[in-house]
Amino acid sequence: MLTVQLGAEEVAAIGVIVDELAARHDTVESSRFHEESRLLADELPREVRRALHSYRLNEDSGTLVVSGLPVDDDKLGPTPGDWRERPTPSPSLRQDIAFFLLASVLGEPIAWATQQDGRIMHDVFPIKAFAHDQIGWGSAEDLTWHTEDAFHPLRTDYLGLMCLRNPDGVETTIGEVSDVELDEETRRALQGERFFLLPDDSHRLDATGAPGEDERIAELRERSLRRVERALAEPERVAVLFGDPRSPYVRIDPHYMRGVQGEVEQRVLDTAVGAFDAVMTGVVLKPGDVCFVDNYRVVHGRKPFRARFDGTDRWLRRLNVTRDLRKSRSSRVDAASRVIF
């Protein structure tokens, strides 16, 4: 894991850019903000940009944590109990902007039409109704490690998590594919396009759009619905390991691969899951920490915890960051839009 501890001067320099953006924007969701933050990200302190570019280009480690951004716990107010509670301006606007700037050095943040109303920056906190679910809003169960949006060809290159509060020190689990030891036969089998990976529940769109929906959006939504239906009815076969066989990328989500493989494939998968389990480690994010995981080289999850549901719970903000916005162009309304259908 790579770590960057920001010094006082760097924190101050980032604060100046955040001030400038916060004076003109009350949200990180607008196209105007995306364009301007891309420009100002080039003014982040050079050593911070160097660390992010090195992480992106050299692929030495799949996890990078930047620590030291300020979070004033009192100003945040209570951790919401529902993701729909998001006032504008957001109480975490300054943290959101700093996080977005760092992410913009790695690529372009993207949103999913199916997730959190198409917002680009997600909230991750425990929600009572989902306590036992395998999603970011769960708490009581181990969130099984996974590749983010593993089934989707447009899945993110980097998952960014910024910690606003984590009072009980709940651990985000991470496992780097480069640490995993596999016998030659298993490795070769995992490189074959022979595994089924089902869409996860968060990608199932509503069949009906909003009243008066734009024609282009209706068309994209329809297509996306069909794609997920197809992926469920006749799933494609995919490889778990791909890229350079000596230093492979990974695409795996055991929870959504269980019970649908051939007998041989399931055995290979069980071996792989055991090998990942053996190298899983974790990071306990502190307020102000920004953690990036390379979604092609690292699986991640979360340890179970007892949520409080009293406004003091763990609270993270989350971004999906793509290296190449163009590859999703046919699934977005226009060139500037970040929302993938």
Ligand X SMILES: O=C(O)CCC(=O)C(=O)O
302 binds, among ligand X, Fe ion, none (CB under 5 to 8 A by kind): ligand X
Tell me how far, at minimum, the Cβ of 328 lies from Fe ion, in Å: 19
Residue 153's identity, in one-letter code, is: P
State the DSSP code for 315. Answer: E
Q: Helix H segments across the chain?
A: 8-24, 31-41, 46-58, 73-76, 93-106, 184-190, 215-233, 263-277
Q: Which of residues 125-184 bind Fe ion (CB under 5 A)?
A: 148
Question: Which single residue is written with the structure tokens 């734009």?
Answer: 214
143 binds, among ligand X, Fe ion, none (CB under 5 to 8 A by kind): ligand X
SS3 of residue 6 by DSSP: coil
Tell me how far, at minimum, the Cβ of 340 lies from Fe ion, in Å: 16
Tell me how far, at minimum, the Cβ of 174 lies from ligand X, in Å: 9
Tell me how far, at minimum, the Cβ of 282 lies from Fe ion, in Å: 14
Pick between residue 10 and residue 200 the one whose CB is nearest to ligand X: 200
Concatenating the DSSP letter of every residue in 63-94 gives EEEEE-----HHHH-SPPSSTT---SS-TTHH
Pick between residue 21 and residue 143 the one whose CB is nearest to ligand X: 143
Pick between residue 25 and residue 152 the one whose CB is nearest to Fe ion: 152
Residues binding ligand X (CB under 6 A): 124, 136, 143, 148, 159, 161, 172, 300-302, 316, 318
Per-residue tokens: 198: 């089902």
Residue of minimal CB distance from ligand X?
172
Which residue from 282, 340, 339 is spatially nearest to 29, judged by alpha carbons?
Answer: 339
Pick between residue 200 and residue 313 the one whose CB is nearest to Fe ion: 200
Concatenating the DSSP letter of every residue in 202-256 gives GG---SS--TT--HHHHHHHHHHHHHHHHHHHSPPEE-SEEEETTEEEE---GGG
41 binds, among Fe ion, ligand X, none (CB under 5 to 8 A by kind): none
Neighbours of 295 (CB within 10 A): 25
Tell me how far, at minimum, the Cβ of 170 lies from ligand X, in Å: 7
Tell me how far, at minimum, the Cβ of 273 lies from Fe ion, in Å: 16
177 binds, among ligand X, Fe ion, none (CB under 5 to 8 A by kind): none
User: Which residue ranges make up the site for Fe ion (CB under 5 A)?
Assistant: 148
